Structure 1
Amino acid sequence: MPSTEVVLITGANRGLGLETARQLLKKGYVVMLSCRDSSKGAEAVRLLRQEGLDPDFVPLDISDPEQIQNVYRWISDHYGHLDVLINNAAVTSATNKTTGDRMANTILNGDIEDFKATFDINVWGTLELTRAVLPLLKKSNHGRIINLSSELGSIQLHATTTSPIYHIKKFGYSSSKTLVNLITIYLQEALKDTNISVYAVSPGWVKTEMGTAAAMLEIPEGAGIIVRAVTENMDRGSFFTHGLQEIPW
C-alpha cells in the first residue's frame, strides 16, 4: 500500500535532497521540498512533475527564523502534522572565504568567520527548524527526525585513523557534523518518551556538487540510505552509513 506520510526535506533542489524526494514520492509519500532559492525549488518541482511525480515546495532558508515559522504554519495549515523531517541542508563553506588549497581550510589556517557562519546553517539552523516543527512531529503516529551527517563528524574516526581525509578536510564542515551528531543523541534522549525516533545518517562519499565527481557513490545510492532510514525500523539514536553499517560517534 502506498504511504500517505508527510515528509519535509531541506536543501532538496538538487543532489541527495532531490533524489531522496524522488525515491520517496515513488513510494507514495507526500513530500515537501524546500530550499533557499525559490526559482531553483520551482525547477526541481518541474523536473519531478515531468516524471509523473507531484511534490510540494516551500521556500526555506534554515538560518532565517521567520522562514522557519512560515514553514511551520504552512505545514500546519495544509496537513496538520509532519511524519518525517529530513535535515539535509548544509554547506561546506558559508562565506566562500576559503580557498581551493586543502591545507588552507584546516583548524590552523581556516577563516574563523567562515567556521561561525557554517555553524549558523549546519548546526543552529538545523536545531531551530527541528524544534519549531516538533509539535507537528508529535502528532504523527511514529515521527522521525533524520539528520544528514558525515563520517567526517565521527570523533572516534578522527582520533584513530591515519587516513588524511579525516585531517585535511575543512574543519568548519567536519566539526559542524560532529555537533549535529551530538544534537542527534541529545534529541533522542529528550524525546525518548515520545513517538519520535532520531537518526544520524551518513550517505557516504557521493558524487554531488559538494562531494565532487571524485566520489565513490552515485547519487541514487547515497539517497538510498536516507530512504531506508525513513522506511525501515532501526535502533533509535543511531549513526548509520550506506549498507546500514553503524558508525562510531
Structure 2
Amino acid sequence: MSDLLQEAAMKTVLITGANRGLGLEAAHQLGEKGFHVFAGVRNPEAGRRAEALLRGAGIAADFVELDMRAPETIEAAADTIWHSAGQLDVLINNAAVHYDTHQRVGAPDFAIVEEALAVNTVGAWRMAVAALPLLRRSEAPRIVNVSSESGAWSSMTGTTPAYSLSKLGLNGLTRMMASEFRRDGILVNAVCPGWTATDMGGGGRPVPEGARGIVWAATLPDDGPTGGFFRDGKPIDW
C-alpha cells in the first residue's frame, strides 16, 4: 500500500469498476480532491494498469481485486481496506454489466438477466454490507450508487430489460439503505450520470461531465440529501 495512506487527514474511497470510464474518471477527480483511491477491478492486469495511471497522475491509489459476482472478493476487499486504512469514507458502487439494447422483455436471455442482477444490484448490496463497518468509522460516510434513468419508474419500457430491472433494483436498494443507515450518519444516494461516452454508453457527453455528479454525491456536506436520485446534483424522477 502507498505510504500516502499514512497521512491521517486523507479520506478514502472505494470505487468498483474503477479501471475505465466513469469509475476511472471519478477516481481521478476524487484523487485530485485529496482522497486515497481503492480501485476495485475484477481483472488484476486491468487493475494494475488503473493503479499505475492514477499514481502517474499524482493520486494516491491502490488496486484491490473485486468481482461483484464473487462474494469472497467483496469480503477480501473490505478486509484489505480495514487493515490498510481502518475506515472508509466513501463507497461508490459503479461496476455494472449488460446494457442489453438488443433484448426485449418478452424475449429475454435469462442468463444475461441473472448476471445483470447479480452484478448491478446484488453485488452492490453485498459491497455496501461488507463496507458498513468501515463506513461507520468515518466522520462523513457516503454511499453513491451509480444508477441510470433506465431504472426509473417514470421512463420504464420493455427495452433493455436486464439492465433496466437491475437499476430499478439498485434505486430501491438506495432508498432502503438510506433509511436503514441514517442512524449511522451515512448519506446514500443514487446518481444517473446521463448518456455518457463510455464503452457501455457508446456515445453522449464527455465522461468527466458524467463523473462530476458522482463526485458531487461522494462529497456532500453533513446536511446533504440522502435517499435521493440525482443527475448533475439535481433531483430527477424515480
TM-score normalized with structure 1 length: 0.88
Q: 2:57 matched to which residue of 1?
A: 51
Within 1, Cα distance between the matches of 2:111 and 2:137? 39
Which structure 2 residue ranges, 5 or more long, are not aligned?
1-7
Identical-residue share of aligned pairs (%) = 40
CA drift at 1:86:
0.2
Within 2, Cα distance between the matches of 1:177 and 1:193? 25
Q: 1:195 matched to which residue of 2?
A: 185
**3-state secondary structure, aligned to 2:182:** coil
Q: 1:239 matched to which residue of 2?
A: 229
Which structure 1 residue ranges, 5 or more long, are not aligned?
159-165
Match of 2:164, as an amino acid? Answer: S
Check conservation: 1:145, 1:197, Cα contact below 8 A: yes
**3-state secondary structure, aligned to 1:7:** strand
Q: How does 1:28-39 map to 2 (within 5 A)?
A: 28-39=34-45
Within 1, Cα distance between the matches of 2:190 and 2:111? 26
Q: How does 1:221-232 map to 2 (within 5 A)?
A: 221-232=209-220
Check conservation: 2:98, 2:112, Cα contact below 8 A: no
Within 1, Cα distance between the matches of 2:40 and 2:88? 14
Check conservation: 1:149, 1:200, Cα contact below 8 A: yes
Q: How does 1:12-91 map to 2 (within 5 A)?
A: 12-91=18-97
Within 1, Cα distance between the matches of 2:72 and 2:181? 25
Check conservation: 1:3, 1:29, Cα contact below 8 A: no
CA drift at 1:232:
2.8
Moved over 3 A (4+): none
Check conservation: 1:154, 1:247, Cα contact below 8 A: no
Q: 2:206 matched to which residue of 1?
A: 218
CA drift at 1:5:
1.1
Q: 1:133 matched to which residue of 2?
A: 131
Please tell me whether Structure 1 or Structure 2 has the larger radius of gyration of its CA atoms: 1
Within 1, Cα distance between the matches of 2:9 and 2:196? 27
Q: 1:149 matched to which residue of 2?
A: 147
Alignment RMSD: 1.6
CA drift at 1:52:
2.3
Q: 2:98 matched to which residue of 1?
A: 92
Within 2, Cα distance between the matches of 1:76 and 1:54? 17
Q: Cα deviation per residue 1:66-104 (whole Å; 9 max; x = unaligned)?
A: 1111111101100111110000001026xxxx7xxx4x4
CA drift at 1:39:
0.2
Within 1, Cα distance between the matches of 2:155 and 2:9? 37
Q: How does 1:177-188 map to 2 (within 5 A)?
A: 177-188=167-178
Check conservation: 2:36, 2:59, Cα contact below 8 A: no
**3-state secondary structure, aligned to 2:113:** helix
Q: Aligned residues, how many? A: 229
